[in-house]
Structure 1
């Protein structure tokens, strides 16, 4: 589809970009809306389908394209494309930028279409690869393979959506891409409630909901690209210099930015060999741990990548290092209390959100085990999201891939060591341990290369953080109730109690931060 007339090249200088704190806030708010609706979505799925055969089959059928989406679209592609687009924006004309966008759109679209067709034809093979344990249960295996044929085109649609979002992010239009996932949650909620009663196999409605969501998310972003004058006219051009740069950066970035997703998928493969319910227990606990990760870690990482790319292109190493330092502090400010709260409130949170319909007391208790294990790695997951852009903005993908391979190997070793004594919780713990290895190695290399330099005030900041988190833990422990009491409450009573408990903890945390001298102005950075 042709784009509307765009400003001429002499008018291509963009307005001053908003500050990182404000941009992160915008992305965070939009992502929070999406994540809250995501929890509602999972509550609906839990109520209608529980943690049985149908739910396990759907989660595998959804996880495969969703994993590839994170690996290729939001992972390797975005991390490779945004720096290249940013360099074109800084040094080339608007016509050159449009030619790059057209060439990438056509090339990406053709590749994704081919992958989608092959995957739909070979869905039983993919199901066996990603959930080999299902082969012992023919009904579950066949159901997962059938649903995968419906869900896999989501990869094509959502990858093009991520492409559109990367363009918008590069031009500091963060709100639209951050809001887009809301449509996925609405589509799946609607499918579960309204479509499932009409289908012979009710859980198949969720697969159709995923397919519809992919189309909605893509078409939602197109008008905003049109306003920028960058609505693509797709053109397959592998020889375009920008396309070749993106492809060169993508190859190693496949591992460097998405290792945590590969580790989570390996968890699913191994969990398919465990007792029925294990895949669902890991899914529900992972969804809770992803709430702070998506709202804050991904938001900050999304905002700093184009910012760092521009600073690298402008040869401003001191500003680059200061931005990385700002991102690490921002992650610690939110990541530490989030991990602490998930660990201390595992059963109450899961009971409040999912203990309805087909979900049993045992499902809550078992999911809590893996949630605590994931909470131990939450801060590491968030740090990876803000440390990896420090490499990709400088178009260095080799270092993250080397570190990513090391973390993957470590994860497999941890999995094999922990799966026997801890079952599904051992898989979650292994993922957390490998995430810490990944984050620490990324941080060490950034420090060694001078891309991160410690700014003033770190010792004071860590002391302030410790005091505020001690207050948060004290409030939770003082006001909390036994697990048996949470399980016995009505849904309304759980919601009310959780609101009061979380609200009190948040007030205590930020009140102590204010008392020890932390101010919003300390986190303003352009």
Structure 2
């Protein structure tokens, strides 16, 4: 594969967003540690996680999902073909329209909250006061979707302009707001978990607020513009409407999982949440960053009619996904109990909570590769202006997840629900690749598979090393914190080094390119 300009741009953008997202994920881990220590995995935590499901779901399919996927290719074409002045006009119209729509959605969500909460947390009705608390928390947090939807529009503009850092680092503010609210406001409420909901609301506002000055530096100052019939805006709407359905169906998978978990013993919703949070750690740091970085590049290639470059960018992104997710999935399984034991086993969170969360994470982990591939393949459809195909695939994925969830929750409880989501991710990824190949012809997936086979030996040796190192501590017992954290750090650093050497020995070219980029950024050898 050629070392093209677009590949370098994808790698650079992924690196910038990966670093910024790493920072936010570290704060997210601290936030989850605070939540686990203060609220445990019971009544209040279950209610909060279930309530946060609703605005978080809307964030993903109104904001991060369909809006970004529809807006970035359209805005990129306007910016390249018609210039900055017209791109500013399109930005103003989209801002005005989105502000009106999300104000209406937020109001409707608050008014309809009792029915929505009963629908997704039906099993909570058996526990007095649990549905009422979930409803109150949902109403309190619902305006969060208003702020982060506007944030998604700003992020899309900045990404097209080549600015990635501040949009990627903004979640740090959400995590900080939640941490500080939990520590300083919890004692002021009869139900302490209400403090977390206030943190979500404040964090959403701060995330949007810090982006506006950055945008102004590029000459974009939002003004109301009601010319909603502008061709570019209509194009965004045409792409976004089916995109909403597609991302909504994907997110409904998580809602279905939590709905089924509400019928399981208390704590099941929390176990699934904590398992998913660590599962999303590598996904959020690299996979989401790569998907965001590859969409503008692919959109430019489609606009220029560069089919060869488009496929080349896709293959390159898929190999990078495998390069990160294969060792990450193995590491998640091996390090689950040590990580939960070290950072979460305090206060209200006991060793049984550690063990149950770790088993859920182990069930999620194999799906990391497939979820990562899907994250890159779906923008390929979006870049080509096709948002309908992912909708239908997501719909069938929803049915697969729901069916498997019902079958597996009886014998395996919450672990069965996690396994169902993993199997549904495999189904989703396989069908996406099959249909994309039908549309474009050969994608060169043999090259991707060959790279994965070269990545595998280093992964296996890494796994053996990490497993042996972690046997030297008793993770079920409290104490020896500094020894254990040093041991875990040695296992992770040593395992990562072994994996890197393995990739170099097996001549994985993308690993060498990533290493060269790192050397240049750090000034090594200069």
- Interval containing the TM-score (normalised by the shorter chain): over 0.9
- Partner residue in 1 for 2:272: 282
- Partner residue in 1 for 2:471: 481
- Partner residue in 2 for 1:11: none
Unpaired stretches in structure 2, ≥5 consecutive residues: 518-526
Offset, 1:57 = 0.9
Q: Distance in 2 between matches of 1:518 and 1:16?
A: 19
Whether the 8 Å contact between 1:260 and 1:431 is mirrored in structure 2 is no
Q: Distance in 2 between matches of 1:421 and 1:472?
A: 33
Q: Distance in 1 between matches of 2:163 and 2:319?
A: 24
Offset, 1:522 = 4.1
- Partner residue in 2 for 1:172: 162
How far does the alpha carbon of each residue in 1:393-435 deviate from its partner, in whole angstroms, 9 at most, with x for none? Answer: 0110111111111111111111111110111111111111111
Q: Secondary structure at the match of 2:129?
A: helix
- Partner residue in 2 for 1:506: 496
How far does the alpha carbon of each residue in 1:241-287 deviate from its partner, in whole angstroms, 9 at most, with x for none? Answer: 22221111112212434554321221111111111100100000000
Task: Please say if 1:327 is aligned against 2:317.
Answer: yes
- Partner residue in 1 for 2:341: 351
Q: Among residues 73, 97, 113, which one is paired with 1:107 in the alignment?
A: 97
Q: Among residues 390, 402, 405, which one is paired with 1:400 in the alignment?
A: 390
Whether the 8 Å contact between 1:400 and 1:442 is mirrored in structure 2 is yes
Show the 5 A alignment for 1:180-329: 180-257=170-247, 259-329=249-319
Whether the 8 Å contact between 2:7 and 2:316 is mirrored in structure 1 is no
- Partner residue in 2 for 1:147: 137
Q: Distance in 1 between matches of 2:478 and 2:489?
A: 17
Offset, 1:467 = 1.2
CA RMSD of aligned residues (A): 2.0
Q: Which moved more, 1:330-339 or 1:459-468?
A: 459-468
Offset, 1:484 = 5.3
Offset, 1:521 = 4.7
- Partner residue in 2 for 1:118: 108
- Partner residue in 1 for 2:399: 409
Task: Please say if 1:59 is aligned against 2:49.
Answer: yes
Offset, 1:501 = 1.5
Q: Distance in 1 between matches of 2:441 and 2:13?
A: 22
Q: Distance in 2 between matches of 1:18 and 1:459?
A: 22
Q: Secondary structure at the match of 2:464?
A: helix
**TM-score (ref. length: structure 2):** 0.93
Q: Which moved more, 1:452-461 or 1:61-70?
A: 452-461
Q: Distance in 2 between matches of 1:483 and 1:395?
A: 53
Whether the 8 Å contact between 2:299 and 2:383 is mirrored in structure 1 is yes
Whether the 8 Å contact between 2:336 and 2:361 is mirrored in structure 1 is yes
Q: Among residues 447, 450, 456, which one is paired with 2:440 in the alignment?
A: 450
Whether the 8 Å contact between 1:476 and 1:501 is mirrored in structure 2 is yes
**TM-score (ref. length: structure 1):** 0.93
Whether the 8 Å contact between 1:446 and 1:452 is mirrored in structure 2 is no
How far does the alpha carbon of each residue in 1:147-203 deviate from its partner, in whole angstroms, 9 at most, with x for none? Answer: 111100000011111111111011110111101111101111111111112333211
Whether the 8 Å contact between 2:504 and 2:512 is mirrored in structure 1 is no
Q: Among residues 26, 29, 33, which one is paired with 2:23 in the alignment?
A: 33
Show the 5 A alignment for 1:353-368: 353-368=343-358
How far does the alpha carbon of each residue in 1:310-342 deviate from its partner, in whole angstroms, 9 at most, with x for none? Answer: 110011000000000000000000000011111
- Partner residue in 2 for 1:84: 74
- Partner residue in 2 for 1:518: 508
* Number of matched pairs: 511
Decide whether aligned partners of structure 1 residues 451 and 304 sit closer, same or farther in structure 2, where only a CA change above 3 A counts: farther
Q: Distance in 1 between matches of 2:233 and 2:146?
A: 18
Decide whether aligned partners of structure 1 residues 425 and 218 sit closer, same or farther in structure 2, where only a CA change above 3 A counts: same
